[in-house]
Amino acid sequence: MVKLAIDVMGGDFAPQEILKGVNQAIAAYDDLELTLFGDKTIISQMVQSNPRLKIVHAPEKIDMGEKDPITVIRKNKQLSLVQALQAVRDQQCDGLVTAGPTQGVIVGAHLIVRRIRGMKRVALCPVLPLFGGKNRLLLDVGANTEIRPEHILQHAIFASVYYQETTKIKEPLVGLINIGTEPGKGREQEKEVFQLLTNSPHVHFYGNVEPKELLTTPCDILITDGFSGNLVMKTMEGTAKALGLALKEEIGRNLMGKIGYLFMKNNLKRFKARLSPDEVGGAVVFGVDGIIVKAHGSSNGYAFSRAIHQARLAILGNVIAIMKEKLVVEEDE
């Protein structure tokens, strides 16, 4: 069985949408065993009792706009997120799915679940929207603003294991985010990471990738430091948002546009859906001793159920155990 802790109270539309996602996931996957951390009364109202569902009463939550989630997590052991993380630490659950605030999840995972022995840094790894038949991973997007080349190598290995075991695509292709494609481009950091990736037997290295190929590159995994990755991810979001607004404006500008819209309404809906994070699930915290999936704060029930599925695949794929072995091999080399 796949044992997952669920933070029922985290997210913009918690607990209702989270519980909808729980209902969908429990119906879809027979191998799931979920422990729900949240307000017992609300959970009992929204969720049918099921031998594969446990409830732990933990109604306290971090405000999604909390400026200092780290301090809040350190001080309040009653939070649904903290209790769910403790269940992972105590190996009652193999992983956690939460739509709570990103920095809180990363820090909580770090402080409570703790890093795998040998892993030097954790990384936050979202899945990019599907383009050209591919769901690419991008990491790190914010766990580390300053980082050493050997830590980036570890992240690349972790992402390769994760990708291979969750998609069953062998030897996923890893690209290094850079300002030019030729070897030797970039800062000292990129030059050193390029060498490490070239020499690693655990990574199938493609070379440098400029972010203008972000959604069209043959790579499965795009790797960089947490500062650069965060900028890339947020630039992608910002551009998509601005273009969406511009498209709406131009279509609404005259009658022809509005008539055309009536015809292609469904086409434009599908276009919008392709950029939606709902299909993909969430971002994974790589490096701690458990599968932690951070669903989008704005997750609806469907999106949250996809995030549960994502955690399920990583646990079925035995990602943590395989990574632990690679770390031992690496230490011996």
CB of 72 to its own copies, least distance (A): 16
Please identify, using beta-carbon distances, which residue of 128 and 288 lies nearer to its own copies.
128
Among 33, 66, 192, 210, binds its own copies (CB under 8 A): 210
CB of 6 to its own copies, least distance (A): 28
Per CB under 8 A, 64 contacts its own copies? no
Please identify, using beta-carbon distances, which residue of 51 and 132 lies nearer to its own copies.
132
CB of 207 to its own copies, least distance (A): 15
Please identify, using beta-carbon distances, which residue of 58 and 177 lies nearer to its own copies.
177
Residues 122-141 that bind its own copies (CB under 8 A): 131
Q: Report d(CA 325, CA 260) in Å as an integer.
A: 57
Binding window for its own copies (CB under 8 A); candidates: 13-21, 149-157, 166-174, 211-219: 211-219
Residues 170-189 that bind its own copies (CB under 8 A): 177, 179, 182, 186-188
Among 168, 266, 331, 332, binds its own copies (CB under 8 A): 266
Per CB under 8 A, 259 contacts its own copies? yes
- Which residues have a Cβ under 8 Å from the Cβ of 58 and sit 6 or more positions away? 9, 37, 38, 39, 78, 79, 80, 83, 84
Q: How many residues bind its own copies (CB under 8 A)?
A: 57
Per CB under 8 A, 243 contacts its own copies? yes
Please identify, using beta-carbon distances, which residue of 242 and 328 lies nearer to its own copies.
242
Per CB under 8 A, 214 contacts its own copies? yes
Q: Report d(CA 198, CA 282) in Å as an integer.
A: 29
Among 71, 201, 253, 325, binds its own copies (CB under 8 A): 253
Tallying the residues shown for the chain, one arrives at 333
Among 30, 48, 51, 146, binds its own copies (CB under 8 A): 146
Q: What string of H, E and C letters represents the secondary structure of the chain?
A: CEEEEEECCCCCCCCHHHHHHHHHHHHHCCCEEEEEEECHHHHHHHCCCCCCEEEEECCECCCCCCCCHHHHHHHCCCEHHHHHHHHHHCCCCCEEEECCCHHHHHHHHHHHHCECCCCCCCEEECECCCECCECCEEECCCCCCCCCHHHHHHHHHHHHHHHHHHHCCCCCEEEEECCCCCCCCCCHHHHHHHHHHHHCCCCEEEEEECHHHCCCCCCCEEECCHHHHHHHHHHHHHHHHHHHHHHHHHHCCCHHHHHHHHHHHHHHHHHHHHHCHHHCCCEEEECECCEEEECCCCCCHHHHHHHHHHHHHHHHCCHHHHHHHHHHHHHHC
Among 169, 246, 328, 329, binds its own copies (CB under 8 A): 246
Among 30, 170, 262, 331, binds its own copies (CB under 8 A): 262
Per CB under 8 A, 333 contacts its own copies? no
Binding window for its own copies (CB under 8 A); candidates: 30-38, 45-53, 152-160, 271-279: 271-279
Per CB under 8 A, 268 contacts its own copies? yes
Residue 23, judged by CB atoms within 10 A of its CB (0-12, 13-18, 19+), counts as middle
Per CB under 8 A, 228 contacts its own copies? yes
Query: Which residues contact its own copies (rule: CB under 8 A)?
Result: 67, 131, 142, 145-146, 177, 179, 182, 186-188, 210-216, 226-228, 230-232, 234-243, 245-247, 250-251, 253-254, 256-257, 259-268, 270-271, 274-275
